[in-house]
Structure 1
Amino acid sequence: MNFKNSNKLKMLALAISTMVTAMSASGANAESYEQEMVIVHPFQWTYNNIARECTEYLGPGGFDGVQISQPAEHINRNDVWWAIYQPVNFYNYTTMEGNESELRAMIKACNDAGVKVFADAVLNQRGGGSGTGIGGSYYTEYSYADGFDSSDFHTGCAITTYADAGQVRYCALNGLPDHATDRDSTQTKIAYYLANLMNMGINGFRIDAAKHMGYTDIESILAKTANITGKRPPAYLEVIGADGEAADIQPEKYTYINNAVVTDFDYVRQIASAFGDGNYGEALSLSTYLGSNAEVFVNNHDNEAGRCSAGTCSMGTQNNVNYHLAQSWMSVWPVGTVRQVYSGYSFTYHDQGGPLSAARCEGGWLCQHRVPYVLNAPRFARATRGEAVTSQGYDDGVLWFNRGARGFYAMNTSSSSVTRTFNVSMSDGTYCDILGTYDPKNTPCGSDVSVTSGTVTLTIPAKSAMAICSDEQWCGKVPDPCDSNPTGTECLCKNETTDVNGYCLSYCQANSSDEYCYCQLNPDASECLSGTQNTRINLCYAGTSNSWVLEKMKYDVRTGYWNLNVSLDGSANQRFKVAEHCSWGGTVYGSSGNQGQLAVNTSTTGDEYTSLTGNYALRIRDSDMTYVMDKLDNTAPVAAFTYEADKLSVSLTDASTDAENDALTYYWNFGNGTSSTEKNPSVTYDEAGTYVIALTVTDARGAASRTVSQSVTVSDRTVIDQTRGSLCYAGTSNSWTFDQMTYNESTGYWTVTVNLDGSASQRFKVVDGCSWSGSTIYGSSGVAGQLTVNTSTSGDEYTSLSGIYTLKVKDADMSYSFENVQ
């Protein structure tokens, strides 16, 4: 077919279609993508390897989904990665990565592990020429064994410019037969192919080369698929935007498609600037111009550095610890409805295919997704989903943020370990670092982390990250509120319905004097029945007086006011705001310009100022956000204490204060079933472990402090302090990437598990700082079993061992040994 003559009708149809679509899109947004998710793309992995990975790592690691290669039979080559993008039979499921039975087994294994399977869908083009496919099907150009024939293809032209949308959609890409996706009959055939995959258990699709198809065509294909299966498949569309190309093939044109998101290649540029170029603070301002319609990623198989098939290049992906940091941050930072982690293989030229016959993480597979702070990042994403970032920062090389009471994440971008104390919004107690485990299925926790009085102190290894969260399913260890505060609302109400203040009947029966319990205890009282129901949801106060920590206010149904006692210092810059949902992502109220009246105000200069000094009751009327500050006569004391631990014994020193200098009484809970009313008691525990010690003080007028607690670890063993910063292993066995070693303070040894092949060239180094630049590098000393500083390229330490071993390196003198694991 002659493109010049035949294309006039097509161009007219395209113009009409575009007008209709534009009017539709301007009137309503697309139906939202069905859920936020983090997926992983193990590029070129076989079905058998993916099945095992889903069960052993991806499911336990929290990944929502896994992307597999397109599953239809393709041209008969397995030495180049792009062969699989030339399908020849939509009903033969043998590819270079497995056969149909292996495909079905993989889908079941992943679904059973809670990992949804997304298939790459190559719908724009077919394999060209003629021959026999990799699964034995014979084909000729425009005639295929699955029933597609010449009526299903555009013919007579090739793409010579991307400035013409019609040519991009209706002409051959790289000389390959171009599906006529604008034709109803062809759309139906494609829809049955997708439906067949969904019936196997495939959840959704990545649509390859989507801009080479009309957006109305893709919408029709997915709608037809939904009519066949009864479920609209979620999809993410590869649309590479570029200056100078036709406006109608730009990514934003495809965002109206229901239950679909679109790739944002500009995000690749942004995150490369932050992590590839060392501008780490930019990570806090990552964004996508596609909003909630975006799929984001550090790289995909097309634009991976060294391949760059998409016209642009990502940051370096191989032997680059900053790439691992970027993938971890991308997974947890709430930008992009779909966020895709990539895991590739070593390659030296553009077309090189993956090492299909190799076992996982061997023979060239890089397993970038297995880096612990990448592997477990989806757990944090799932645990904090739906909660906005409430505070964030980049200080002295550390990126950090809070997502309310659900989680805290911190990343050390520097080349040496860092110890820092952070303010967090999570309840006091003992959590665990979920990013510190290599095996979330069997060992879901790294080191224990204690939150005390709203702060957490972390020692973050070089070029690594740590995170804690409060979700019982994903966070490994969640403190029981009854351990730290057995008389508080979180403990007494954890199994009961609560009111807006978090109070329940059990709590109020034990605290009948609490004025906010009146309606819980007297629900039929007239003032409770006729009370003012709140219209705001969970107001929190934050200001200079409490270091901008969101502090929950209590609502009194009888008066219609939200209440909180605050201590003010009268400073010139004293100010505050109030946030609904106790989140900076909720409605934020600040200055209205009229004293005593709050209004919606998100400006950084829109705080409400006050010059008051002393202790006040802040009362905000729910109906109109007017407020008053009432002076308080008596201020509750503030409980505080310090401690010293000596093996199993702990000595406690009171540091509580009272504004009126009243005499105080004390109640200590030692967390082991014992207590004390002394001012400065001591306790000896029967067993080593971590205990939560809580203190409540009461003044002479009966005002009780808030209970404060600290986690105290006691042990009867000797602790050997480490002298190195952060050791990493790198060698031929892991393609010279950095594997973080773990320090055992009881033994004084650093350990890491390595898989050795016994080759003659097998060698390694150990690096303090986990970077080839600015770190101390240990290699051969010339004495077996002893490492020394050696930066020479010929100074690697050789070993002829074969099998899985634990490498043990003594911190004190860098002597080492291998212990056989299997």
Structure 2
Amino acid sequence: MKFTILSSMLATASASVALDTSGVFVHLFEWSHADVAAECENFLGPKGYNGVQVSPPNEHITGDTWWTRYQPVSYNITSRSGSESEFKDMVDRCTAVGVDVVADAVVNHMAAGSSGEGVAGTSYTNRQFPDYDQSDFHHTSNLDTNCDVSDYTNQQNVQECDLVGLPDLDTSSTKVHDRIAQYLNYMYAIGVKGFRIDAAKHQEAGQMNGYVKQLPEDAFVFGEVIEGGNEAVKPEMYEGVCFITEFDWAQDVAPNVVSEGKMQYLKTLGESWGLIDSDESVIFTDNHDTQRGNAPLTYKDGSTYYLLNLVMLAHNYGYPKVMSSYYFTDHDAGPPGATADESSCGDGSTWVCEHRWTGIANMVNWRKSAARGEGSIENWAQSDDGNGIAFSRSDSAFVAINRAGGDWSATLQTGLPEGTYCNVIKDDDVSSCETVTVDSDGTASITAPSMDAVAIHVGAKK
């Protein structure tokens, strides 16, 4: 599904970026700055996560729903997550333990409504904000109104009309480019290393590049570009401008995890499936939008969702982002009124904390080991029923994943040096972990439990 549409004017997304995209980052959705800082120090850093995506840090409209964060009032660093001083403290503390901060940047539009007030007390009226006036927005017959996004087969409609009534910034404007770049560069100066560009699909790629090219070359930028059937805007249009969210990854992979006998088909997973280039893609099992919409699997699906995460972390395609959620039944429900500490994680009523699930968390350092050398997939094996798959990543890591209703036992080629290794799916403490012994010929007797896995790597060798 790839085609070339780039010119020399566009920046190169594959240039060296601050984040090591062979690692893993996590989205701590709606966590406070103070809680993110503590999580970096107490868990993310020690477990090897190299990045954390935080919710939009700028001033937004008031209200309890999660989507208030996506209606900007100003670019002041004050939000439900905390103040600017708390934001700076979080960035400093996370960076100190090797976890780079990625900020969700809502720069396609501003808040809807004829008038209102932001969480920091900033007032606004229709298309009049501290950073912009009415002339800075797309409009049709007059400065007060604009068309609505209604036809996804029409690129102009998608990128110049208002998305669900949110005033659409005119991203062809140099003034708008400069103001967005000023905001992002301010966060970069604080120590933020990357940005998720919300609603990037609703900005023409070349116009979006007008502010992206003003950022430091090592800034990690990825755009939210959702693809759908016959739509006019394609993810490939953003190649060379930024990394791209590959929404099709979960949609394509999940059915092979859900249905019996289909894990074997993951052998060819990659660009041949029609996915964008691996070295420009950000992949995820679900995100804050899709888990409230069309995500094939979420935390509510238990073991199959867990296996989908293991596949994502084990395979060499893309830069994986782990979703960390809060429990919800109401689509619009905002975050629970509790800190995301050890006592509330996984309690069934507040924070899910999928990033702390043992198998997921310990696969982060597994992936770091796997990235040594070429990190290529080798020694592919599968069970007779097609429910179990196994492979090594060069000579540094090996995994066997079993989707079957019973255990899968086999002697498999691991590609690893002789020795005794921790099965990090269960425990990564080399002093007490469950072990797997690799013989001199690189083989090991493996038993992967039902709906679970066995994973070993050179970083957890006894």
Relative to the length of structure 1, the TM-score reads 0.50
**For residues 743-788 of structure 1, what are the alpha-carbon distances to aligned partners after superposition, in whole Å with 9 as ceiling and x for unaligned?**
xxxxxxxxxxxxxxxxxxxxxxxxxxxxxxxxxxxxxxxxxxxxxx
- The partner residue of 1:428 within 418, 443, 447 is 418
Q: Separation in 1 of the partners of 2:6 and 2:323?
A: 37
Q: Which structure has more helix as a fraction of its residues?
A: 2
Question: Is residue 97 from structure 1 mapped to residue 78 from structure 2 by the alignment?
Answer: no
Structure 2 counterpart of 1:329:
311
Structure 2 counterpart of 1:343:
324
Query: After alignment, is 408-417 or 384-393 more displaced?
Result: 408-417
Determine helix, strand or coil for the equivalent of 2:121: coil
The structure-2 alpha-carbon separation of the partners of 1:97 and 1:457, relative to structure 1 and needing over 3 Å to count, comes to: same
Q: Separation in 2 of the partners of 1:299 and 1:375?
A: 17
Q: Separation in 1 of the partners of 2:368 and 2:148?
A: 45
Check conservation: 2:221, 2:243, Cα contact below 8 A.
Answer: yes
Q: Separation in 2 of the partners of 1:169 and 1:140?
A: 23
Q: Separation in 1 of the partners of 2:78 and 2:96?
A: 23
The structure-2 alpha-carbon separation of the partners of 1:50 and 1:370, relative to structure 1 and needing over 3 Å to count, comes to: same
Q: Quick one: which amino acid aligns to residue 334 of structure 1?
A: N
Structure 2 counterpart of 1:136:
121
The Cα shift of 1:70 comes to 0.9
Q: Quick one: which amino acid aligns to residue 5 of structure 2?
A: A
Q: Quick one: which amino acid aligns to residue 188 of structure 1?
A: D
Question: Is residue 84 from structure 1 mapped to residue 69 from structure 2 by the alignment?
Answer: yes
- The partner residue of 1:313 within 278, 281, 295 is 295
Question: Is residue 359 from structure 1 mapped to residue 340 from structure 2 by the alignment?
Answer: yes
Q: Separation in 1 of the partners of 2:449 and 2:6?
A: 54
**For residues 136-177 of structure 1, what are the alpha-carbon distances to aligned partners after superposition, in whole Å with 9 as ceiling and x for unaligned?**
2222222223x3222321123222212221121111111111
Check conservation: 2:27, 2:52, Cα contact below 8 A.
Answer: yes
Q: Separation in 1 of the partners of 2:357 and 2:225?
A: 29
Q: Quick one: which amino acid aligns to residue 86 of structure 1?
A: Q
Structure 2 counterpart of 1:293:
280
Structure 2 counterpart of 1:610:
none
Check conservation: 2:159, 2:204, Cα contact below 8 A.
Answer: yes
Check conservation: 1:66, 1:115, Cα contact below 8 A.
Answer: yes
Which structure is richer in relative contact order (CA contacts within 8 A, separation 6 or more)?
2
Structure 2 counterpart of 1:601:
none
Determine helix, strand or coil for the equivalent of 2:34: helix
Structure 2 counterpart of 1:458:
446
Determine helix, strand or coil for the equivalent of 1:24: coil
Check conservation: 1:419, 1:458, Cα contact below 8 A.
Answer: yes
The structure-2 alpha-carbon separation of the partners of 1:375 and 1:444, relative to structure 1 and needing over 3 Å to count, comes to: farther
Check conservation: 1:408, 1:424, Cα contact below 8 A.
Answer: yes
Q: Separation in 2 of the partners of 1:121 and 1:26?
A: 23
Q: Separation in 1 of the partners of 2:400 and 2:454?
A: 5
The Cα shift of 1:418 comes to 4.0
The structure-2 alpha-carbon separation of the partners of 1:459 and 1:51, relative to structure 1 and needing over 3 Å to count, comes to: same
Check conservation: 2:197, 2:221, Cα contact below 8 A.
Answer: yes
Determine helix, strand or coil for the equivalent of 2:127: coil
The Cα shift of 1:31 comes to 3.8
Question: Is residue 171 from structure 1 mapped to residue 158 from structure 2 by the alignment?
Answer: no
Structure 2 counterpart of 1:692:
none
Determine helix, strand or coil for the equivalent of 1:89: coil
The Cα shift of 1:419 comes to 3.8
RMSD: 2.3
The structure-2 alpha-carbon separation of the partners of 1:40 and 1:113, relative to structure 1 and needing over 3 Å to count, comes to: same
Structure 2 counterpart of 1:413:
403
Instruction: Give structure 2 stretches of 5+ with no counterpart.
Output: 140-145
Query: After alignment, is 161-170 or 195-204 more displaced?
Result: 161-170
Check conservation: 2:430, 2:461, Cα contact below 8 A.
Answer: no
Relative to the length of structure 2, the TM-score reads 0.88
Q: Separation in 1 of the partners of 2:214 and 2:389?
A: 46
Q: Quick one: which amino acid aligns to residue 62 of structure 1?
A: G
Structure 2 counterpart of 1:73:
59
The structure-2 alpha-carbon separation of the partners of 1:207 and 1:60, relative to structure 1 and needing over 3 Å to count, comes to: same
Q: Separation in 1 of the partners of 2:124 and 2:10?
A: 45
Q: Separation in 1 of the partners of 2:186 and 2:430?
A: 38
The Cα shift of 1:83 comes to 0.6
Instruction: Give structure 1 stretches of 5+ with no counterpart.
Output: 1-20, 479-822
Q: Separation in 2 of the partners of 1:359 and 1:313?
A: 24
Check conservation: 1:300, 1:342, Cα contact below 8 A.
Answer: yes
Larger radius of gyration: 1
Q: Quick one: which amino acid aligns to residue 303 of structure 1?
A: T
- The partner residue of 1:216 within 190, 206, 216 is 206
The Cα shift of 1:357 comes to 2.2
Structure 2 counterpart of 1:112:
96
Q: Separation in 2 of the partners of 1:152 and 1:233?
A: 26
Determine helix, strand or coil for the equivalent of 2:215: helix
The structure-2 alpha-carbon separation of the partners of 1:332 and 1:181, relative to structure 1 and needing over 3 Å to count, comes to: same
Q: Separation in 2 of the partners of 1:457 and 1:53?
A: 37
Question: May I ask how many residue pairs the two structures share in their alignment?
Answer: 434
Q: Quick one: which amino acid aligns to residue 320 of structure 1?
A: G
Q: Separation in 1 of the partners of 2:407 and 2:383?
A: 14
Check conservation: 1:276, 1:316, Cα contact below 8 A.
Answer: no
The structure-2 alpha-carbon separation of the partners of 1:449 and 1:240, relative to structure 1 and needing over 3 Å to count, comes to: same
Structure 2 counterpart of 1:383:
369
Q: Separation in 2 of the partners of 1:325 and 1:169?
A: 37
Structure 1 counterpart of 2:183:
193
Q: Separation in 2 of the partners of 1:316 and 1:132?
A: 34
Determine helix, strand or coil for the equivalent of 2:85: helix
The structure-2 alpha-carbon separation of the partners of 1:27 and 1:48, relative to structure 1 and needing over 3 Å to count, comes to: closer
